[in-house]
Amino acid sequence: MPDILSPDSVGLVTPQTHQFTTSLSLECGRSLPNYQIVYETYGKLNERCSNAVLICHALSGDHHAAGYYTMHDKKSGWWDTCIGPGKPIDTNRFFVVSLNNLGGCRGSTGPNTINLDTGQPYGPDFPIVTVRDWVRCQARLGDVLGITQWAAVIGGSLGGMQALQWAIDYPKHVRHALVIAGAPKLSAQNIAFNEVARQAIMNDPEFYAGHYYQHNAIPRQGLMLARMLGHITYLSDESMRQKFGRELREGKVKFGFDVEFQVESYLRYQGRTFVDRFDANTYLLMTKALDYFDPASEHDNNLAAALAGVQAKFLVVSFTSDWRFPPERSREIVKALLTNKKQVTYAEVKAQDGHDAFLMPIPHYTQVFQAYMQKIEIPGEK
């Protein structure tokens, strides 16, 4: 049976688009007079609009979180392991909303869409967007859908940062925040990796200062390098060892600069395919949103103070081999919540898959996730 017909799949899905015509003020000081957001929904919104769950995507994610677009799709949405009937985010109970963030490249207004003022793609003129901007934009989408309070806002990695920001900025509008493989801010090392990725893209001669669309060009090599590098940080040393070891692609050393080790072949492939589905200007924007995220900075670097007003209950999950956002970073969030006597469940999942673990069907993780979601009360639920 193809996965699409499996009883725990949301099956065929269709993205929808909403045009916003009220100007959105951004943290950078600029504003967008109009913009569109593409999103998908799974499950059914109940009468009291009390069962809505918002999915926030990470750096290279989009609105296609679950299901399939056609019967022939080989790949499902990016979080299909966790969204569907009977899965942790159970579409039998919850109405799930998943959007492509502003500045994205998969249908929402971003650098690769036309700026109505100029008739040209925004390119590098697209304003820098922050996690807080995204959250505000997501709140507006909620308004459109008639959702004033989310049963849960959920995200992994950069998505987890959005869930955290939701609880801070809209305390009454989030009942549960699920922060998975997240961090309260990037470390210097995290920023450093982002900076190398940006330099790779911006120094690519096909980048044309971000105006590559007009040159029918793509900063292919730069974006490929950025993705290869990102990929190393998503996996763990251990998972790479298990996956590739020092396996040679053709059985013996060739004393040359072509691909020799399996891991090289894998990385080059990952880099190449990424270029076909992702926009370099969006990549730049996403890394900046990551760098800037630091809710404690407005409170003398006191995270507990930043979280003093949250009303949501929290599930925080980290993975032992995640060296991008290691468990210590999640524990900072947990500690700050506990300082405020907030209700928080924390799970440190033993996993060898590094940062990417949040996308994987790891039994302990699935169990914790599912148990937490099952206990979420839905007002009006029979």
- Rounded Cα distance, 309 and 130, in Å: 21
Angle at which helices 131-145 and 280-292 cross, to 10°: 100
The SS3 call for residue 101 is coil
Known catalytic membership, residue 322:
yes
Catalytic residue among 62, 90, 204, 322: 322
Q: Does 235 bind a second copy (CB under 8 A)?
A: yes
Known catalytic membership, residue 355:
yes
If 0-12 CB within 10 Å is exposed, 13-18 middle and 19+ buried, where does residue 228 land?
buried
Which phi and psi angles does 239 have, rounded to 5°?
-70, -35
Nearest distance from C-beta of residue 84 to a second copy, angstroms = 33
Instruction: Rank residues 1 and 209 by Cβ distance to a second copy and give the closer one.
Output: 209
Angle 11-12-18 (CA atoms, 0-180°, nearest 5)?
Answer: 125
Q: Does 29 bind a second copy (CB under 8 A)?
A: yes
Nearest distance from C-beta of residue 203 to a second copy, angstroms = 4
Find all residues with CB under 8 Å of 28, minimum gap 6, and list them. Answer: 127, 128, 129, 130
Q: Does 245 bind a second copy (CB under 8 A)?
A: yes
Catalytic residue among 63, 64, 176, 355: 355
Binding mask 269-308 for a second copy (x = CB under 8 A): --x------------x---x--xx-x--x-----------
Q: Does 237 bind a second copy (CB under 8 A)?
A: yes
Catalytic residue among 50, 60, 157, 318: 157
Neighbouring C-beta atoms of residue 262, cutoff 10 Å: 16
Query: Rg of the chain's alpha carbons, rounded to an integer?
Result: 21
The count of chain residues that interact with a second copy, using the rule CB under 8 A, is 54
Q: Which of 379, 354, 314, 1 is nearest to 167 (CA)?
A: 314
Q: Which of residues 179-208 bind a second copy (CB under 8 A)?
A: 185-189, 191-193, 195-196, 198-200, 202-203, 205
The SS3 call for residue 244 is coil
| Residues that bind a second copy in the complex, under the rule CB under 8 A | 27-29, 127-128, 185-189, 191-193, 195-196, 198-200, 202-203, 205, 221, 224-225, 228-229, 232, 235-237, 240-241, 243-246, 253, 255-257, 260-261, 263-264, 267-268, 271, 284, 288, 291-292, 294, 297, 323
| Residues carrying an active site annotation | 157, 322, 355
